[in-house]
Amino acid sequence: TGGPDWEVKLGRLDSLTASQEDSDNIMPSPRANASTLIDLFQRFNLTVKDLVALSGSHSIGKGRCFSIMFRLYNQSGSGKPDPAIDPDFRLELNKLCPLDVDQNKTGNLDSTPVIFDNQYFKDLVGGRGFLNSDQTLFTYPRTKG
């Protein structure tokens, strides 16, 4: 991927089992706004700087259409798309995730999804964040700069 590498010890230290319910309770929602994300991270003694840095992991990977349908078609219950989305990017997302799509279909979290780089942050500056929880980092004063 072009990013740094280092050895990591394998195994979980936080739990002996996996739980969907526990995961749902501690993982940020793709719909979360920056204030909610900050509060969640603070519960784990993580700072705003940690939040922004860890969100950079979205430089690699994909997200499901399920995670962005509200942004495209009913942001904040308005019946309209999220105004923070770049209009050209919104058209791309509308093609990827039309209303009748299998919501498990996936799209890239940034424009260089297999390269570990800073394109994720450049995409946010351009209004091209895939997830609301990503784009909100650029529009919220405490995380923007």
- Residues belonging to the binding site for substrate are 28
Compute CA distances 129 → 47, 74, 101, 115, 133, whole Å: 21, 17, 20, 16, 9
- Can you say which residues are annotated as belonging to the binding site for Ca(2+)? 110, 112, 117
- Can you say which residues are annotated as belonging to the binding site? 28, 58, 110, 112, 117
Tokens of 84: 């923070």
Q: Give the integer Cα–Cα distance in Å for 72 and 70.
A: 5
- Can you say which residues are annotated as belonging to the binding site for heme b? 58
